[in-house]
Structure 1
Amino acid sequence: MPRPRLTFVGTGYLGATYAVCFAELGYEVLGFDVDVARIAALTAGTVPFHEPGLTELLRRNLAAGRLRFTTSYAETADFGDVHFVCVGTPQRPGGTGADLSYVESAVTGLAAHLTRPALIVGKSTVPVGTAEWVERLVAKHAPGLGVQVAWSPEFLQEGRAVQDVLRPSRIVVGVRSEWAGALVDAAHRGILELAAAEDREVPVVVTDFATAELVKVAANAFLATKISFINAMAEVCEVAGGDVTQLARAIGYDPRIGNRFLQAGVGFGGGCLPKDIRAFQARAQELGAGEALRFLHEVDLINQRRRGKVLQLAAELLGCPPGPGGPQFAGARVAVLGATFKPHSDDVRDAPALQIAAALARAGAGVRVYDPAGMANAALAQPGLRFAESLDDAVRDAELVCVLTEWPEFRTADPARLGRLAATPLVIDGRNCLDAAAWTAAGWRYRGLGSRPADRAPAGWTALDQDDPAGRPPLPRPATRPVAAR
C-alpha cells in the first residue's frame, strides 16, 4: 500500500507536533484548525507554543512543500486518506469527567465533507467507549461511504515531543477491520522505517478499541500514582527524619520499581495527568467500576497537599504567624523560580509553581516570578502576579527563594552569586533539584521537600536552628511578622 496522505484535525500542541513530525518523515500532510490566528502563525513558520526543535522542522517542511495548514473542512476531507483527530478533551466545567465536545465537533465537521472511503484515527485522550461513539457519529454524518474509525493514543512528553513522535517507545492501535489495520500501518510506516535505519525496534500493539483507549489513561494513572507515592514517602520522611532522595535512590535500584518518576517535590501538573486521572475515575464510576479506581482520589489529594507544604515551609523559615486561612506573609519578599509545570515547556496549566506563587501573594507576600519560557502564559493565567525579567531580577532583595520548576538555569545557578543578591539566604527547593551541599556551603539555609541532608535536624528544630557545616553561627531568626490588616 502506498503512503497515504495525512491530515491532523486540531493543531494545538498535539496536532501541530504530529503534523510537523510526520511531514519530516516524508508524508504529505495537511493540518486543520478552526482557530484562524493559529493557522496563520503555523503557515508563517511560527510555532505558537514552546517545544524544543519544532520550529526548525516546521519551517523546513513548509519550504519543502510537504506541509500545509487550512481552516477548511472541505479541503481537509478532500486531501486526506487518514485523518488524525487531535483536539483537546479538557475536564468538564463543574465536573471531573472529560469534555468531548471538541471531539464531536471535529468528527462531525469532517465527516459532513467526506466524499470517499477514509480512516478517522483518534489520538486524543478519551474515556473508554469513545471510539464506538465516534463510529456512530461517522455513520450518521457520512453514511454509506465506507469511512472507518481506529484509535491510536499519543504518548508525548512536553519538552521532548519531537523525539516521542519520531522515536516512540511504542505504537498502540485499536482497529476493527483488516483494511483499517493496513491503512493505519501505512500511516506509521515512516516511523518504523526510521527505526530500522537506526537499528531500533518500536513495539506495535494492535488491539481492540477499549484497550487502545485505556492504555493512555492507565499509563497516566500509573505515573501519577508513582509520583504521589514518593511524595507520600516525603511526608513520612519529614516527620521521621529520613531523606526521601536517598530513599528514592535505594528503591529505584529495584528493577521491579525503577527510578523514573521517583523525584519528590511539589507534585505533578500540566494539561494531562491531573484531568486524566479525574476523568478516568469518573468514567469508571459510570461503568460501575468506581471502587477499582478509588485510590486515584488519594493520589490526587497527595498531589494537591504538596503545594500547601511549600507555604508551610515558607512560613516556618520567615517566622510568619498563622491566620484564619493559613500563614500570613505580610509583605515578605519572595522570589518564585518557575511558572510552568515542567521545564522545556511554556505550559502553565495546573502548574504547581504558579499556583504556589498565587497562594503566597494572596497570603500577603510580595512575589516576583521568573520562568525562562512561560512568562507570557503565566501572566495571562495570573495577571495579578509580578514577573521579573531575569533570574537575577527575581532574586534581588528577596527574603526567600522558592525553586518550583527544575529548569537547567536554576539547577546550575551559582548559589554564591545569588546569595549576594538576596536579602536573606533562605531557599526552598520544591523540586529537590539543587545541590544541597553547594547551596549550604554558599551560606544558604536550604530546605528540600522530604528532609534532604542539608535540613536534617533533631525533632522540633527548623532549618534556622542548625549550625552551618562551615562553622558559621546560625542566622538570626526573622522577627515574627504581624498579621496583615484586613
Structure 2
Amino acid sequence: MRLTVIGTGYVGLVHAACMADMGHEVLGVDRDADRIAALSRGTVPFYEPGLHGLLNRNLKSGRLRFARSLADAARFARTHFVCVGTPQQADSHAADLRFVDGVMDELAAHLRDQQGWALVVGKSTVPVGTATRLADRLGRVAPLAEIAWNPEFLREGFAVHDTLRPERLVAGVVSPRADATLRDIYAPMVHAGTPFISTDPATAELVKLASNSFLATKISFINAMAELCDAMGADVVTLAEAVGQDPRIGHPFLQPGLGFGGSCLPKDIRALVARAEELGLGTSVGFLREVDEINMRQRLRTITLAEQLAGGSFADRNVAVLGAAFKPGSDDVRDSPALAVADGIRCQGARVRVHDPEAADRGRAVLPALQFTLDVPKTCEEADVVLHLTAWPEYGAIDPAELAAVVRRPVILDARHTLDAARWRSSGWRFRAFGRPSPDDPPDGAW
C-alpha cells in the first residue's frame, strides 16, 4: 500500500521507516529542506537505536523516499499519517495545535484537487475533540476525505521495536472503510496477535493521554514514598519491590529517582488537565496537578541534597553531572530533569561539568553555559560531588575505585537508583540515593 508520513521527527521518521520495512511504499514529508536532504542520504538527525540501519535499508530498496511538498503527498497516496509536534503552549498548559492545524489546512486543498476518497490519520497527541474539529474543517474543503486517529505509544530508545511489535493498536474511526484501511496497513501485526482496538476518534485521542497520565502518576507516587522513606529511615527500593509484587500494581514505572521528563509525559498530563478545565471537569483530574508538582519537586530536592553533599554550599565547588538526556537510549534533552538540575546548580555558583554518551551536542545547544566533556574521568576531575542523573548502562559499568582517584571528594548522589551502592561504598565513596538509608553518612558538619 502507498502511504505518506507528514512530519519526520521522532514519531514520524520511525513510523515511515517501519512502514516501509513492512513492505509499504512510503513518502516522508517535511518542510525542513536540510532534514529532507539528510534523510535522503541516509543520515538520521537524532539518536534512536536501530533506526539508522532501518532507514538505509528501505532507502536502498526504494520503498522509502522523502519530499517537502504536501502536493506531492496528495498525489502519491490516499492514506496520510500526520506526525507533527503538539508542544505545550508558551503561555499555558494547553497543547499548541498550530502545526496540526496547518498541515490539515494545506493538505485539504491538495486532497480536494485529487478528487477522491482519502484517509488522514492523526498520530500526533492531541486534546480530546481535536479529530472531530479537524474532520469538520477538512470536510468543508475536501468532502471526500475523512479523518481517523491512531495514537502512537513509542518509548524513545525502543521506538523501532515498539512500532514493529506494538503492545496494542488503537484506531479511532468513523467508517468501515477507514477501519479496513488501517487493518490492512497493520495486517502483519494483527496477524501476529497484536490487539487491534477499533473505537471512535475521541476515545482514541484520550487513550494516549490517559496512558501517559497513569504512568506519570506511578512515577510520582513512588517518589512521594521516597520522601516518606527519607523521613522515616525506610528503604524505597525494597518498598517498590514489595508493592510491585501485587499484579494489580506491577513493577514497571515504580522506579524512584529524579522523575520524568521528555517531550511526552509532562506536556501530556498538563494538556489533559487543561482540556478537562475547558470542559468544566478540572476537579476530576486535579490529582494530576499534584503528580506534576511532585515530579518538579524532585529536581529541587536533587539540587538541595547535592548542595548538602557538596558541604553546604556550591560556592567554589566542582560538580560532575553524569547524564544530560531525559532518559537512556536517547539524545533527547527536551524537558530533561538532568539538565534542569545541572543548570540550577550552575546558577547557584558551582562549576558544573556534564557528560552524556549521546546527548552532549544537543545539551550544549540548549544550555551553552554548561561545560560538556568527552569522557567521565574528565567530567569528574576535582569534583566535590558527582551526580548520577541519567541511567545510561555505561555509568553502571564505571569502576568507582578508579574514579575515586580523580575526584576531590568521593561523594556521589545516585538519583536513578541504578548504581551498586555496596560497590561504591567499598571503594571509599559516600553514597546517597533518595529514599534509602545511608549508613556511611557522617555526623552533620563532618563533611
8 Å contact kept, 2:183–2:190: no
Partner of 1:93: 90
Distance in 2 (alpha carbons) for counterparts of 1:388 and 1:424: 19
8 Å contact kept, 1:6–1:187: no
8 Å contact kept, 2:212–2:269: yes
The structural deviation recorded for 1:464 is 2.9
Number of aligned positions between the proteins: 444
Task: State the superposition RMSD in angstroms.
Answer: 1.2
Partner of 2:414: 429
Given candidates 232, 235, 249, the residue that maps to 2:241 is 249
- CA distances 1:423-469 after superposition (whole Å, capped 9, x unpaired): 11000001011001110011000000112x4x148xxxxx2339xxx
Given candidates 377, 380, 387, the residue that maps to 1:402 is 387
Distance in 2 (alpha carbons) for counterparts of 1:251 and 1:11: 40
One-letter code of the match for 1:465?
P
Given candidates 266, 269, 282, the residue that maps to 2:258 is 266
Per the alignment, in what secondary structure is the counterpart of residue 150 of structure 1? strand
Partner of 2:121: 121
8 Å contact kept, 2:218–2:254: yes
The structural deviation recorded for 1:70 is 0.3
Given candidates 179, 189, 192, the residue that maps to 1:191 is 189
Distance in 2 (alpha carbons) for counterparts of 1:142 and 1:99: 24
8 Å contact kept, 1:223–1:261: yes
Partner of 1:139: 139
- CA distances 1:80-134 after superposition (whole Å, capped 9, x unpaired): 1210010000001110000100001111111111112110000000000000011
Per the alignment, in what secondary structure is the counterpart of residue 92 of structure 1? coil
One-letter code of the match for 2:106?
G
- CA distances 1:120-177 after superposition (whole Å, capped 9, x unpaired): 000000000000011012112323xx11111010000000000000000000001111
Q: After superposition, where does 1:35-184 map in structure 2 within 5 Å?
A: 35-114=32-111, 115=114, 116-143=116-143, 146-184=144-182
The structural deviation recorded for 1:73 is 1.1
8 Å contact kept, 1:82–1:184: no
8 Å contact kept, 2:190–2:196: no
Structure 2, unaligned runs of 5 or more? none
Distance in 2 (alpha carbons) for counterparts of 1:420 and 1:263: 31
Partner of 2:21: 24
- CA distances 1:43-75 after superposition (whole Å, capped 9, x unpaired): 110110110000001001000000000001111
Q: After superposition, where does 1:308-457 map in structure 2 within 5 Å?
A: 308-320=300-312, 328-451=313-436, 453=437, 455-456=438-439
Distance in 2 (alpha carbons) for counterparts of 1:190 and 1:81: 20
Q: After superposition, where does 1:201-280 map in structure 2 within 5 Å?
A: 201-280=193-272
One-letter code of the match for 1:338?
G
Distance in 1 (alpha carbons) for counterparts of 2:344 and 2:224: 22
- CA distances 1:319-358 after superposition (whole Å, capped 9, x unpaired): 22xxxxxxx4112001000001100100001110000000
The structural deviation recorded for 1:192 is 2.7
Per the alignment, in what secondary structure is the counterpart of residue 334 of structure 1? strand
Per the alignment, in what secondary structure is the counterpart of residue 464 of structure 1? coil
One-letter code of the match for 1:415?
P
Distance in 2 (alpha carbons) for counterparts of 1:165 and 1:420: 44
Distance in 2 (alpha carbons) for counterparts of 1:456 and 1:234: 17
Distance in 1 (alpha carbons) for counterparts of 2:2 and 2:134: 21
Per the alignment, in what secondary structure is the counterpart of residue 92 of structure 2? coil
- TM-score w.r.t. the length of structure 2 is 0.98
Distance in 2 (alpha carbons) for counterparts of 1:141 and 1:428: 58
Q: Bigger CA drift: 109-118 or 293-302?
A: 109-118
Distance in 2 (alpha carbons) for counterparts of 1:235 and 1:279: 27
Given candidates 464, 469, 481, the residue that maps to 2:442 is 464
Distance in 1 (alpha carbons) for counterparts of 2:384 and 2:442: 14
Per the alignment, in what secondary structure is the counterpart of residue 389 of structure 1? coil
Distance in 1 (alpha carbons) for counterparts of 2:339 and 2:187: 41
Distance in 1 (alpha carbons) for counterparts of 2:251 and 2:195: 22
Structure 1, unaligned runs of 5 or more? 196-200, 321-327, 458-462, 467-475, 479-486
Distance in 2 (alpha carbons) for counterparts of 1:191 and 1:77: 26
Distance in 1 (alpha carbons) for counterparts of 2:282 and 2:373: 45
Distance in 2 (alpha carbons) for counterparts of 1:382 and 1:333: 18
Shift >4 Å, 4+ stretches = none
